[in-house]
Amino acid sequence: MKLKTIGIVGAGAMGSGIAQVAAQAGCKVIITDNFAESLLNSQKLIRSNLQKLVEKGKIEAPFAEEIINNISWTDSLADLATSDLVIEAIIEEISIKKKLFAEIELIVSSNCILASNTSSLSITAIASACKLSERVIGIHFFNPAPIMDLVEIIPAIQTQQNITDLILQVITSWKKTVVLAKDTPGFIVNRIARPYYSEALRIMEEGIANIETIDYAMTQLGGFKMGPFALMDFIGHDVNFRVTESVFQSFYFEPRYKPSFAQKRLFEAGWFGKKTGKGFYDYTQPSELQIDTDISKIKYIYERILIMLINEAVDALHWQISSKNDIDLAMQKGVNYPKGLLKWADELGIAHCVSLMDGLYEEYHEDRYRCSPLLRKKALLCETFY
């Protein structure tokens, strides 16, 4: 079965980005949205993206026009009737998504695959809204979709294996790197990445170091492209805080994912980061960075955040969320980590990783700092991940 016609519900930045990717791959794409302004903005965004690619010499002008001609915009869900695959990219509210999927199912053929681009909500719950729940799957692109290489594929427990296999093939043919994830909160990337933010926030809230010093430690010593506070500001606290809160609640209030009051206050103030001009940093006026370059402090910050990330990655492998190769690939391609976390654990030494985790637990005696059973097992058996 070939998926020639792709329906996209939601004409925002994500929906438009996915539409551009599919149209570039030669598919006919139908973008639908309730708001005329969103549809107009979508057209402007895609045209602008393609014009930049032409100017950079990455595509020829006739091909850019061909891509545009592959896309149509509509305010009617009924126009999705001919779709072979519909991808939903709307607000992260489970009740709204379930209602939408029930509506779409009445419009499309029984062979049409229905997918959600949710970053953290249950695909199984969304699929339950459909009579043919076996054709529902998660296809999670990262923003901006035309640029970010990674796509997480998440089957619901109802999803038929042949649907999963087909979607893996199709998204790969769209020139994306695909990883397969179990349907658990946050999937791979948004689950494993949580400590990059939460542990940095914890260090700041304890008064160990300020935001500039923490960002400096992770970029200069860790090799991360952006520090945690700069990255949270870039993502936007309206998005980042909501994902943290969703993962925390969905994991039955697991302490490792506990949100921060410091970020909650920014969220409540509407200080979402770069998009609003203020977040942890003030983007409305130039300011001098106050960085503490004490080597021992910088090393402590780097090791503490890194070991929490490693422990989270190991725990995801322990619970069979994904394969070790897909976990490392996802973190490199999805959030641009300098290397895979399981590979990083091998380089640091598994016994050293256990020692760092046990040191944090001895200091705090909080369940948040418990060492993953798999990490401890690897140390006892003197094994590595690769």
Residue 7 contacts residue 32 (beta carbons within 8 Å)? yes
Which one of the listed residues 16, 38, 117, 140 is annotated catalytic? Answer: 140
Residue 321 contacts residue 330 (beta carbons within 8 Å)? no
Q: Which residues contact 110 (CB under 8 A, 6 or more apart)?
A: 132
Cα(27)–Cα(10) distance, integer angstroms: 18
Is 190 assigned a catalytic role? yes
Cα(316)–Cα(301) distance, integer angstroms: 23
Cα→Cα distances 327→42, 189, 254, 315, Å:
32, 8, 21, 11
Type of residue numbered 260: S
Cα→Cα distances 318→68, 70, 265, 342, Å:
45, 43, 34, 12
CA 258 to chain centre: 18
Which one of the listed residues 152, 199, 303, 312 is annotated catalytic? Answer: 152
Is 140 assigned a catalytic role? yes
Which one of the listed residues 119, 246, 322, 372 is annotated catalytic? Answer: 119
Cα→Cα distances 109→157, 227, 271, Å:
22, 46, 44
Cα(210)–Cα(45) distance, integer angstroms: 37
Catalytic residues: 119, 140, 152, 190
